[in-house]
Amino acid sequence: MSQEVREAEKQFIVQTYKRAPILWERGHGVWLVDCEGQEYLDMAAGIAVNALGYEHPAITDVLARPGLLHTSNLYYTSPQVELARALCQNSFASKVFFCNSGTEANEGALKFARKWAKERREIVAFSDGFHGRTMGALACTANPRYRQPFEPLIGGVRFATYNDLDSVNLDGDVAAVLVEPIQGEGGVRPADAEFLRGLRRMCDARDVLLILDEVQCGLGRTGQLWGYQDSGVEPDILTLAKPLGGGLPIGAILINEKVANALEAGDHGSTFGGGPLVTRVARSVFETIYQPEFLEQVREVGQLLQAVLQRAVDRFDFVLEARGRGLMWGLVLSEKVPVANLVEAGYQQKVVMLSSGHNTLRLLPPLILKAKHVEVFEKRLMAALEEVSLALA
C-alpha cells in the first residue's frame, strides 16, 4: 500500500486504531478493491455497517437525487418522520429518537431509562458485553481494557453473567437491564432464548425496563428483522445503528409507549440526529432489508455459511466451535492460534474478516451475500486455515 498515506496517518491521526496495511479505494457488491486494484471478498461489511454492500442502487439512487442535507431538529422534515414510521410499524416500538452512532443510541437509552424510572438509577449489564465508548455506554461495558483508563465512569452499573439468569439480581435501585441478543464484540455469543425470556419475566416482575442493544445484531443480521424475534421477547427500548444508514452514520433509539410517556421536550437532543439526507438513505436501506424475501435469503445463505464453518471445525483441530445466527458468525480458535494470524492469512487469500472476544474469528458479511460468494469464501477460508495450520507445525 501507499507508504505516503501510512506515514501521514501516523503523523496526523490520533493513534487509537490498529489498522491493517490495506488502502481501500472502492467497492461493488460484496467486493472491496484496494489501491492496487486487488479484489477482496468482504466478510466484515465495515463491522456490520455495509449491510447492502457497496454501490447498491437502494443507496446510490437516493444519493443521486438532490435534497436537503441538514436543517436541525428545530424544524420538521419528512424523511425523518417517514423513517420513524417505518421502524415503528415494523417493530415493538411506538416512537423513535434519532442520533448518530451506536454508543450515542445507548447513551440516550440510559437517559430515557433513568427518566422513566424516576428515583431508581441502577443499570444491570453483562460480562463480555459491549455498548460503546462514551462514558455511560462504556460504564455498561465490562471489559477492563476499555474502561479502566477512563474511570470513574457513570456510577450505578452492576454486571451479571451473560446467559446465566441466576447471576441476575434486580433488587434495590434498578431502572433497567441492558443486554445484546447476540454479543458481537464479546465473541459472537447468542443469548439463549430462555435467558432473554427469563430477563423479560424478571424485569416485568420488578417493573424494570429491558433494553436490547441491537446495534450490531439488529436489522436483518440474524435473518429476522430484529435480533429479539427468535426469542419472542420484546424490549422496552432497543438501540440500533450500524446497518441503518447503509454506511452513513445514524443511530436510533426505539421505545415503547410507557417510556415515551416519560419523556418531554428538552430531555434529550442531537444537532445532527435524523437529518434529511441520512434518513432518506436509511429508509431506502430499511425498505430493502425488511422484505420477507430479503430476510429469507439471509437465513438461507447463513445456513450455507454455517455449514462451511462447521466443515472448518471438523477439519482443523484448533478450530473449536462455530456459533452465531443468520449472517453473524464466530469461529472460536484454540489458544495456540492467535486469531490475528488467521485474519492476516485471510488478507493474503483476499478475504476480509474480523476478530472478536476471546480468540474468535468474526464474520459479518454484507446481507446481500449469495451462495456463490459462500463458495469463494470456503476456498479462501480453508486456504487461510491451512496456512496458519502449517505455521504451527
Of the pair 48, 351, the CB lying nearest ligand PLP is at 48
* Angle, CA 321 vertex, CA 318 and CA 324 arms, to 5°: 145
What is the rounded distance in angstroms from the CA atom of residue 215 to the CA atom of residue 332? 22
CB of 251 to ligand PLP, least distance (A): 7
What is the rounded distance in angstroms from the CA atom of residue 289 to the CA atom of residue 88? 15
Is the sign of the CA dihedral 118, 122, 128, 132 positive or negative?
Answer: positive
The answer to the question of residue 362 lying near ligand PLP (CB under 6 A) is no
Binding-site member from 56, 114, 131, 189 for ligand PLP (CB under 6 A): 131
Other C-beta atoms closer than 10 Å to the C-beta of 5 total: 11
Report the site for ligand PLP in 45-64 (rule: CB under 6 A): 47
Stretch near ligand PLP under the rule CB under 6 A, chosen from 79-87, 209-217, 275-283, 339-347: 209-217
CB of 102 to ligand PLP, least distance (A): 2
Stretch near ligand PLP under the rule CB under 6 A, chosen from 96-104, 107-115, 202-210, 228-236: 96-104
Report the site for ligand PLP in 161-180 (rule: CB under 6 A): 180
The answer to the question of residue 112 lying near ligand PLP (CB under 6 A) is no
The answer to the question of residue 236 lying near ligand PLP (CB under 6 A) is no
The answer to the question of residue 128 lying near ligand PLP (CB under 6 A) is no
The answer to the question of residue 241 lying near ligand PLP (CB under 6 A) is yes
Instruction: Identify residue 231 by its one-letter amino acid code.
Output: S
Stretch near ligand PLP under the rule CB under 6 A, chosen from 11-19, 35-43, 124-132, 167-175: 124-132
Binding-site member from 50, 77, 163, 216 for ligand PLP (CB under 6 A): 216
Cα torsion 281, 17, 127, 339 to 10°: value is: 100
The answer to the question of residue 101 lying near ligand PLP (CB under 6 A) is yes
CB of 189 to ligand PLP, least distance (A): 12
CB of 19 to ligand PLP, least distance (A): 16
Binding-site member from 213, 281, 324, 380 for ligand PLP (CB under 6 A): 213
Of the pair 128, 180, the CB lying nearest ligand PLP is at 180
User: CB under 8 Å to 246, separation ≥6 — which residues?
Assistant: 49, 50, 51, 52, 56, 58, 59, 281, 282, 284, 285
Report the site for ligand PLP in 318-337 (rule: CB under 6 A): none
The answer to the question of residue 103 lying near ligand PLP (CB under 6 A) is yes
Query: Are the C-beta atoms of 150 and 160 separated by less than 8 Å?
Result: no
Query: Are the C-beta atoms of 264 and 219 separated by less than 8 Å?
Result: no
* Cell numbers that stand for 55 in this block: 454501490
The Cβ-side half-sphere exposure at 241, using a 13 Å CA radius, reads 25
Buried b (16+ CB within 10 A) or exposed e, 252-266: bbbbbeebeeebeee
CB of 17 to ligand PLP, least distance (A): 12
CB of 41 to ligand PLP, least distance (A): 22
User: CB under 8 Å to 45, separation ≥6 — which residues?
Assistant: 51, 53, 243, 364, 365, 366, 367
* Cell numbers that stand for 245 in this block: 444508514
Query: Which residues make up the interface to ligand PLP (CB under 6 A)?
Result: 47, 101-103, 106, 130-132, 180, 184-185, 213, 215-216, 241
